[in-house]
Amino acid sequence: MLSDRIQPERLAGYFKTLCEIDSPGLLEKPVAEYLQCFFSKFPGIVVEVDDSALRTGANTGNLIVTIPGRDEGATGLFFNCHMDVIPPCIGVQVDYTDGVFRSKGDTVLGGDDKAGIAILMELTHLLFEGQTPLPLVQFIFTVGEEIGLLGAEHLDRELIQVGYGYALDSTGIDNGIIGAPAAVYVDAVITGRAAHAGLNPEDGVSAIVLCGEITSQLPLGRVDSETTANIGLVEGGAATNIIPETVRVRGEIRSHCSRKLAQTIEVFRRTFEDLSAKYGGRAEVDFPPQYPAMLVDESAPVVQRLKRSAGALGRSIDLIVAGGGSDANIFNFKGLPTVILGTGMTDVHSNNENIALSDIVRTAEMVATLVTC
C-alpha cells in the first residue's frame, strides 16, 4: 500500500517549513512559489496558476497541480487545501516537542491548512516512488479561504479534470464532513442624531443605545438545531462629548435549511428597522451572501470511496454534518462533490493551536489510500 511508504520525518519537515512561511489572506505568493518549486522537481507534473487574482486581489492565483495517471480506467480525484492562514500569522516559529507542533510565539501555528498541504507534498513522493497503477490526481491550492472562500469562488473550473475530491481542512481525525450550512453576512448601519453630550444631550439620539436595544432583541447564538447567528463587530462614535450618530454592526447568520435562513434574515431586518424607528433613528441593513450550503449524499461515489479507504485501513469513518464553511461549500455548489477530511488540528484560529505528527501521518495514510481505492 502507498500508505506504508510514508516517511513521518520528511512530512514533519515540510509542515514546519510551510508554517514558517508568512501567508496571510491575499498574500499567499511565497507559499505558492515554494510549492511551484517543489512540484517542478517531479517529471510530468503540470503546475498552473489560474487568473483568479484579477478578481480576488491576491498577489497570486490559485495553484492547480496535475499528476498524470498511470491507469486510464481508474477514476481520478482531487485534493484541496488553502494557502492562507488566519491572523496573527506573521513570523510564525514552530515548536516541536514530544511529537506535537505548536507555535513558539504570539501567533497561530498555521496547521489550518498547512498540515493538509504538507500531506499532499508527502503524497507526491509516494506517487513517484513506485509503479502502482494510479488515477489522475489533482491538487487545488486556493487563496483567501479564511477571508471569504475567495479563491474557490473564482477558481477556473476549466482546469479541473476530475469529478470529485476531498478538502483537507477540519479538526478531528478519521472523519468526513458531508454537510455544512449556508451563510450570509449581516452588515447594518444604525443612524441616530448627534448632539453635544453636555450642552443639549436631550436633542440627541444615541446610535449606541439604539444598537443595544436592537442586539438585545436579536436571536443570537444557536437559534435552532440548524441555525446560528452572531454579531461580531460593532464600530461607532466620534468623541466622548458627542451623542454618537452612527454605529456599524457586522455579523453573520448560518443555517442548513434555506427556509430557516430566510426567516432569520427577515427577523433581523425587521428588528433593525422597526426598533431604530421606534426610538427615533433609522437602520439600513444588508445580508450579502457568504457561501452556499453543502450536503453530499452518503451514496455518492466521493463518500463511498472514503468508506472503502477506511475499510482498507481497518478503520471506521465518522460522517458529520458540521457548522463551519470551507472551500468545499463552493466546490459542491460548482458541481464538484467534495468531502472535508479532518487532519487532527486542534484549537485552530487561536494561539493555542497544535497538531500531533501522529495525526498528520494518520491522515496522510487515509489520503494515500484514497488514491488507490
Catalytic residues: 84, 145
Q: What is the dihedral of CA 36, 31, 25, 146, to 10 degrees?
A: 90
With cell 481505492, the residue in question is 373
DSSP code of 28? -
The whole-angstrom separation of Cα 111 and Cα 235 is 31
Would you state the cell numbers that stand for residue 180, as one nine-digit string? Answer: 455544512
C-alpha dist (Å) from residue 196 to 200, 204, 235, 281, 329:
5, 8, 20, 17, 49
Q: What three-state secondary structure class fits 246?
A: strand
The amino acid at residue 49 is: V
222 CB burial (10 A radius; 0-12, 13-18, 19+): exposed
- H or E element at residue 359: helix 357-372
Dump the DSSP string for 109-170. Answer: --HHHHHHHHHHHHHHHHHHSS------EEEEEES-STTTSHHHHT--GGG--SS-EEEEEE
Strand partners, 100: 97, 356
C-alpha dist (Å) from residue 157 to 151, 162, 176, 290, 333:
11, 10, 24, 20, 12
- Among 325, 317, 323, 301, which Cα is nearest to 366's? 317
CB crowding 89-117: b at 16 or more within 10 Å, else e:
beebebeeeeeebbbeeebbbbbbbbbbb
